[in-house]
Amino acid sequence: MTGPLKILTVFGTRPEAIKLFPVLHRLTGDARFTSRICVTGQHREMLDQVLDVARIEPDYDLDVMQPGQTPDELTARLLTGIGGVLDMEKPDVVLVQGDTTSALVAALAAYYRQIAVAHAEAGLRSGEKYRPWPEEINRKAITAIASLHFAPTQTAAISLEAESVDPASIHVTGNTAVDAVRWMAAKLDADSTLGAEVTEVLERFAEKRIIVLTAHRRESFEEGLGNIARAAATIAVREDVAIVCPVHPNPAVRPALENALNDRENVALVPPLGYAPFVRLLKASALLLTDSGGIQEEAAALGKPVLVMRDATERPEGIVAGTARLVGTQEIRIVSETERLLDDPQAYAAMANAKNPFGDGKAAQQICELLARMTPANRQT
């Protein structure tokens, strides 16, 4: 007879928190598990916004964020911090999500102690070393360490098998992003006072078709962000649209967007939104322009066409299903693809009605069942 499986979940950024809270809600209070939570604070206010709405209370907060942090100094701070928590907690399993520096370092620190790692959202690959950067290699490195791989789609599972990962350790679960956005959307439906931070902007643009714009990828910092901002400025000349852009707090992002978009009547640059107001904004929008990973999945779950402003994506499922189009980071293409969706109702309907390929909203449940099956024998693999 073994005791409950002790799981330490480690995460640090907004998207990890959003995709992990459905799992954490289930782990807590399930007698099969002892759930401990370590947040790294790789993000600060954006992480806290999610912890707050999802009511997640971490056991540890390493509070590592520094303004304008580089990946190497962040990695160094994280490794000793997470290592210390692992030495105190001695979990059976470390659970990580996705491709961030926090996820990679948590996996590495666990490996150094021969603690098993379970990886949610495993197997996404663009096939390009620097796109997204540094996330493509972060995710691959976690694969090399993990002993349990929760692939959100069959495509991701096939990518893992192609890298000789033991097929018995790969499980297709769906993406917990779908669980999260459904949870939030249901709460918004039940309580019209939630997400009030966007009320003013939604009222101001009530007569217009709202385009949600987000951009933050490091590989776009050199040129891409400026192109994206100019494209948005061109689109916003149209009187029938308004662009709402929650500006990512990375100091490299704001100047590029402000230069092109400040003082435009049809554009609102707003601070990063909490998850409730952001999902409220998504629900009210016509379409999305983004380089985000998670927003591609949420858009598909909500039936909102999404134009992905990247040159390569590790989420080809959306492109294949027709929920997303990859439009690159050149101004002309971003503008023409947006206008096509705005002016061609058939093209719009084809994307809005395409089937969501990212899961059925039961990913967290599946992940918990799979974790519960971990035995003393495979905990140490």
Q: Which stretch binds ligand UD1 (CB under 6 A): 43-51, 121-129, 261-269, 334-342?
A: 43-51
Q: Which stretch binds ligand UD1 (CB under 6 A): 68-76, 238-246, 362-370, 371-379?
A: 68-76
Binding ligand UDP (rule: CB under 6 A), the pick from 226, 246, 305, 361 is: 246
Q: Report the site for ligand UD1 in 87-106 (rule: CB under 6 A).
A: 99-101
Closest approach of Cβ 294 to ligand UDP, in Å?
Answer: 3
Alpha carbon distance 191, 170 (integer Å): 38
Query: CB under 8 Å to 378, separation ≥6 — which residues?
Result: 116, 147
Q: Which stretch binds ligand UD1 (CB under 6 A): 204-212, 246-254, 303-311, 317-325?
A: 246-254
Binding ligand UDP (rule: CB under 6 A), the pick from 58, 81, 152, 294 is: 294
Shorter beta-carbon distance to ligand UDP: residue 93 or 244: 244
For residue 261, give the nearest of 252, 251, 270 by alpha carbon. 270
Closest approach of Cβ 290 to ligand UD1, in Å?
Answer: 11
Give the burial class of 169: count Cβ atoms within 10 A of its Cβ; 0-12 exposed, 13-18 middle, 19 or more buried. Answer: middle
User: What are the percentages of helix, strand and coil residues in the chain, rounded to 5?
Assistant: 50, 15, 35
Binding ligand UD1 (rule: CB under 6 A), the pick from 26, 36, 43, 119 is: 43
User: Does the footprint of ligand UD1 cover residue 175 (CB under 6 A)?
Assistant: no
Binding ligand UD1 (rule: CB under 6 A), the pick from 9, 35, 42, 313 is: 42
Picked from ligand UDP, ligand UD1, none, the partner binding residue 298 (CB below 5 to 8 A depending on kind) is: ligand UDP
Shorter beta-carbon distance to ligand UDP: residue 64 or 288: 288
Q: How many CB atoms lie within 10 A of CB 336?
A: 12
End-to-end CA distance of the chain: 20
Q: Report the site for ligand UDP in 213-242 (rule: CB under 6 A).
A: 214, 216
Distance of CA 74 to the CA centre of its chain: 19
For residue 19, give the nearest of 320, 358, 277, 287 by alpha carbon. 358
Phi, psi of 36 (to 5 degrees): -120, 145
User: Does the footprint of ligand UD1 cover residue 249 (CB under 6 A)?
Assistant: yes
Shorter beta-carbon distance to ligand UDP: residue 312 or 347: 312
Query: Which amino acid is it at 285?
Result: S
Alpha carbon distance 365, 331 (integer Å): 42
Binding ligand UD1 (rule: CB under 6 A), the pick from 6, 32, 34, 71 is: 71
Residue 276 in contact with residue 200, Cβ under 8 Å?
no
User: Does the footprint of ligand UD1 cover residue 330 (CB under 6 A)?
Assistant: no
Our CA dihedral for 253, 258, 264, 270, rounded to 10 degrees, sits at 50
Q: How many CB atoms lie within 10 A of CB 47?
A: 26
Q: Which stretch binds ligand UDP (CB under 6 A): 104-112, 189-197, 200-208, 291-299?
A: 291-299
User: Does the footprint of ligand UDP cover residue 298 (CB under 6 A)?
Assistant: yes
Residue 212 in contact with residue 282, Cβ under 8 Å?
yes
3-class DSSP assignment, residue 14? helix
Alpha carbon distance 129, 122 (integer Å): 16
Closest approach of Cβ 98 to ligand UDP, in Å?
Answer: 7
Alpha carbon distance 226, 351 (integer Å): 27
Closest approach of Cβ 310 to ligand UD1, in Å?
Answer: 12
Which residues partner with 171 through β-bridges?
150
Query: Which amino acid is it at 199?
Result: T
Q: Is the dihedral of CA 65, 66, 72, 77 positive or negative?
A: negative
Binding ligand UD1 (rule: CB under 6 A), the pick from 81, 91, 134, 359 is: 134
The interface mask with ligand UDP, positions 12-31, x = CB under 6 A, is --xx--x-------------
User: Does the footprint of ligand UD1 cover residue 131 (CB under 6 A)?
Assistant: no
Shorter beta-carbon distance to ligand UDP: residue 91 or 293: 293
Point out which residues bind ligand UD1 (CB under 6 A).
13-15, 42-46, 65-69, 71, 74, 99-101, 134-135, 216, 218, 249-251
Residues that bind ligand UDP (CB under 6 A): 14-15, 18, 214, 216, 246, 272-273, 275, 278, 292-295, 298
